[in-house]
Amino acid sequence: MKALRRAYAILRHAVLYALFVLYLSPFFLVLLNSFKSRREIVSNPFALPPAWSLNNFITAFQRMGFVPAFLNSLLITTCSVIGIAVFSSMTAYLFVRTDWRINKVMFFAMVASMLIPFQAIMIPLVRIYGSLSMLNTPWSLIYMYLGFGSSFAVFLYHGFIKSIPKELEEAAMIDGCSRLQVFFRVVFPLLRSTTLSLIILNVLWIWNDFLLPSLVLISADRRTLPLTTFYFHGTYSSDYGLLMASLMLTILPVIAFYIALQKHIIRGVMEGAIKA
């Protein structure tokens, strides 16, 4: 009985670790081949590179325009994420704490709008903003992310703010704080963990998003990292070493972000998924 259980435990470990290797193998293959030339990759994608040269990385880094793309992604993600968190928490606060019909209507409309998939409005969105000449700037894209991100964020904050007692705010009010001051000094700090989860979810969404930026950002120098990588692959479709290096360059910042914030990320994902 004991031997059987032991054998079973070994089997379980073997299966799980084999799966683990299988799950991560695509990334290792990309990493391995990013050091090789096209010819070496074609002749055997599993062989170790003859030399660990960074040439592919350097060439890919320059040719794909990694730095501007990274900065575009960073600017767009940061501004959108902060904007969503600040504006949505304020809105949710108002919706929870004041009793006005408009608030209820708006809240309902926002929650209902979460049913609309992006694809259902992308065509008119592009038509409208295109005709206003408001495409091809990061600011329009950030503006749109505020629109697409705020419903869920307001919903998430709304649930949490409801559970905060009013007394703290009333005390601050008596001390002569304005409404905005009350919000930012008293309420917003209490929302810290919700804000963090929300920021993580939004970073993963916006940093990796493709369809919306592909419709909004037109010039090559405005593109975000996923767009740049995608078009780079279209241009150099058979220089595999270069392609693999470009993929690694795109993946690395995300992995670094994950390692730094691992616990929060997993928690954020759980909260987000369950609330949604």
Partner 1 sequence: MSRVKLSLSVLVLALVLSLSSAVLAADVHVTVLNSKGEIQAQLEEIAAYYSSITEGVTVEIAAVPVGQSPFERATALYASGNAPTLLMVDAGDVLLFQDRALALNGEKWVADAIENSLGMATADDGRILAFPVTVEGYGFIYNRAVVEKALGRAFDPKTVNSIDALRQLFDDIEASGQASIVIGPEDWSLGAHFFALAYATQSPDFAEIKKFQEGLKKGEIKLADNAQVNGLLDTFDLMKEYNYDKIDPLASTYDRGTELIGTGEVAVWFQGNWTWPQIKDFTDNREFGFLPVPISSNPADYGNTQVPVGVTKYFIMDAEQNSPEQQQAAKDFLNWLGYDPEGQKRMVIDASIIPAFKNITIVPEDPLAASLLEYVREGKTLNFVLNLPPDHWAQVGASMQKYLADFVDRAGLLGEIEAYWLGK
Partner 2 sequence: MLASEKRFVDKLKNYLLFAGPTTLVFITVIILPFLFGIYLTFTNWDGISKAYTFVSFSNYKQVIQDPAFWTSFLRTVKYVFYTVLLVNTIGFSLAYALTGGKVLGENLLRTGFFVPNLIGGIILGLVWRFIFSNVLVFLGRTLNIGFLSTSWLANPNKALWTLVIVTVWQYSGYMMIIFIAGLSNIPKELLEAATIDGATGFQRLRTIVLPLMVPAFIVTVFLTIQRGFMVYDVNIALTNGGPFKSTQLISMFVYEKAFLSQQYGVGQSEAFFLFLLVAAISLTQVYFTKKLEVEV
Residue ranges in contact with partner 1 by CB under 8 A? 83, 87, 130-133, 135-136, 139, 142-143, 146, 218-220, 231, 236-239
Considering only residues 4, 39, 52, 99, which one is a binding residue for partner 2 as defined by CB under 8 A? 99
Considering only residues 6, 7, 11, 13, which one is a binding residue for partner 2 as defined by CB under 8 A? 13
Alpha carbon distance 163, 141 (integer Å): 34
Considering only residues 154, 198, 216, 217, which one is a binding residue for partner 2 as defined by CB under 8 A? 154
Binding marks (x or -) toward partner 2, 171..210, rule CB under 8 A? Answer: --x-----xx--x--------------------x--xxxx
Contacts of 228 (CB under 8 A, 6+ apart): 64, 65, 66, 69, 220
Considering only residues 68, 74, 230, 264, which one is a binding residue for partner 2 as defined by CB under 8 A? 230
42 binds partner 2 (CB under 8 A): yes
Strands (E), the chain: none
Angle among Cα 44, 45, 51 to the nearest 5 degrees reads 85
For the chain, give the number of residues. Answer: 276
Q: Where is 158: in which H helix or E strand?
A: helix 138-161
Alpha carbon distance 212, 118 (integer Å): 9
251 binds partner 2 (CB under 8 A): yes
Cβ proximity to partner 2, 167 vs 219, nearer residue: 167
150 binds, among partner 2, partner 1, none (CB under 5 to 8 A by kind): partner 2
52 binds, among partner 1, partner 2, none (CB under 5 to 8 A by kind): none
Asked whether 56 and 35 are in contact (CB, 8 A), the reply is: yes
3-state class (DSSP) for residue 148: helix
